[in-house]
Amino acid sequence: MSITPATPSYEAETTYAFRVRRVAWLGSFKYLPRDEHRAAGTTLNRLIEENGPDVIALAEPV
């Protein structure tokens, strides 16, 4: 039996500074890996849902 790593989940009301591993789309907005972004945990959770569990390279609460 293989163990699958858990998908990260971020607190909805917390703001995070984050980077993506690759170009990621959320609606019509494009997140680029060269930029540092800031968004609520709900946004990060949606990014994961729409782009896969490995899309977030780094995320820290601010």
The domain locations on the chain are 15-61
Per-residue model confidence (pLDDT) at position 47 = 97
Contact (Cβ atoms closer than 8 angstroms) between residue 16 and residue 8: no
pLDDT in tens, 9-54: 899 999 999 999 999 999 999 999 999 999 999 999 999 999 999 9
Question: How much is the pTM?
Answer: 0.84
Please state the φ and ψ torsions of residue 29, each to the nearest 5 degrees. Answer: -95, 135
Per-residue model confidence (pLDDT) at position 9 = 87
Per-residue model confidence (pLDDT) at position 52 = 96
The residues pairing with 16 across neighbouring beta strands, listed in sequence order, are 39, 61
Q: Which residue has the tokens 């820290």?
A: 60
**CA quadruple 42, 43, 46, 48: dihedral, nearest 10:** -110
